[in-house]
């Protein structure tokens, strides 16, 4: 199983590239697949109001959903039965561990989703920023279940995935050069300089790049980031963005 920190870094790099949200989501699924393999997968807002052109889809035929409100409604009901379980466990749960075989919720899943995923088991990952689900990932396996180690690996990746996907949504499929105009940190717990640094962190810049942009030393930037984390109660760069920008 791959190193979480390496995967987090690669996700941040993918979010910085000038690509559509669908392209970012496909890259994210590729990164995930290296450590938590899947046969089928879907990365989307899971709403009929959001076009499937924004989705990353692997091995799933969803064309009918674009024209069938009933299918979307049934999917929403079935996924709703798993949502609370996922959110209570770091954003991640599986069908095998949540829906008892033969139960009414499991029968509903098998009727609505199993034919679409062609999967024995599925793992649901909900990406949340400040209490709002920004998107979700559904991974399916045809011949095996997702074990606890794989679920724990995905939970560790959830904060970075959520922030990166939320930032990509902010671009509205525009190049990242347009993102700076859409981002603003107004958190009054921070100084003006610290807010400038937070915006550059949100754009995915390294300490060295921030130092160059603001004519500071890299050590000064690191000191600012230590103080920013302390003031926000943030454990890492992803939490800085979540607490000070995406709230």
pLDDT digits 0-9 by tens, 138-162 = 999 998 899 999 999 999 999 999 9
pLDDT digits 0-9 by tens, 201-230 = 887 778 888 887 788 888 899 999 999 999
User: Could you say which DSSP state residue 178 is in?
Assistant: G
Mean pLDDT of the chain: 83
Token pair of 213, please? 């942009």
Q: What's the mean pLDDT in 77-103?
A: 85
Q: Please state, in angstroms and rounded to a whole number, the distance separating the CA atoms of residues 55 and 247.
A: 24
Tell the CATH topology of 4-170.
Beta-Lactamase (3.30.450)
Cβ neighbours around 42 below 10 Å, total: 25
Cβ neighbours around 163 below 10 Å, total: 28
Q: Please state, in angstroms and rounded to a whole number, the distance separating the CA atoms of residues 77 and 57.
A: 21
Cβ neighbours around 87 below 10 Å, total: 15
Q: What's the mean pLDDT in 91-100?
A: 89
pLDDT digits 0-9 by tens, 12-26 = 888 887 778 999 999
| Domains of the chain by residue range | 4-170, 183-244
Nearest to 153 by CA among 20, 26, 38, 13: 38
CB 118 within 8 A of CB 140: yes
Whether the pLDDT of residue 179 is over 50: the answer is: no
177 falls in which pLDDT band (50, 70, 90)? very low
CB 157 within 8 A of CB 8: yes
Q: Scan for tokens 């000070």, then name that residue.
A: 244
CB 118 within 8 A of CB 59: yes
pLDDT at 174: 45
Q: Please state, in angstroms and rounded to a whole number, the distance separating the CA atoms of residues 172 and 160.
A: 19
Q: What's the mean pLDDT in 164-170?
A: 84
- What CATH number matches the domain at 183-244, 1.10.10.10, 3.30.70.20, 3.40.50.150, 3.30.1520.10? 1.10.10.10
DSSP-based three-state secondary structure for 115: helix
Whole-model pTM? 0.71
Domains 4-170 and 183-244 share a fold: no
């Amino acid at each position: 199983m791959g190193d979480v920190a390496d995967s987090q870094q690669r996700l941040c790099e993918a979010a910085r590239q000038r690509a559509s949200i669908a392209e970012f989501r496909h890259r994210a699924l590729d990164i995930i697949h290296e450590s938590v393999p899947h046969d089928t997968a879907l990365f989307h807002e899971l709403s009929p109001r959001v076009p499937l052109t924004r989705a990353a889809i692997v091995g799933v035929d969803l064309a009918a959903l674009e024209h069938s409100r009933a299918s979307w409604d049934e999917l929403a009901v079935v996924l709703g039965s798993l949502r609370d379980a996922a959110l209570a466990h770091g954003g991640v749960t599986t069908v095998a561990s949540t829906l008892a075989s033969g139960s009414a919720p499991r029968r509903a899943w098998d009727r609505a989703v199993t034919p679409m995923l062609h999967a024995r088991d599925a793992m649901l990952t909900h990406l949340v920023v400040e209490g709002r689900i920004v998107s979700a990932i559904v991974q399916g396996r045809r011949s095996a279940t997702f074990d606890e180690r794989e679920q724990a690996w995905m939970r560790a990746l959830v904060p970075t995935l959520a922030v990166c996907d939320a930032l990509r949504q902010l671009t509205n499929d525009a190049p990242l050069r347009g993102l700076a105009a859409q981002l603003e940190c107004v958190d009054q717990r921070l100084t003006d300089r610290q807010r400038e640094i937070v915006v550059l962190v949100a754009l995915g810049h390294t300490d060295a790049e921030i130092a160059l942009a603001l004519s500071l030393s890299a050590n000064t930037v690191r000191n600012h980031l230590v103080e920013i984390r302390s003031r926000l109660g943030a454990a890492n760069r992803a939490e800085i963005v979540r607490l000070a920008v995406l709230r």
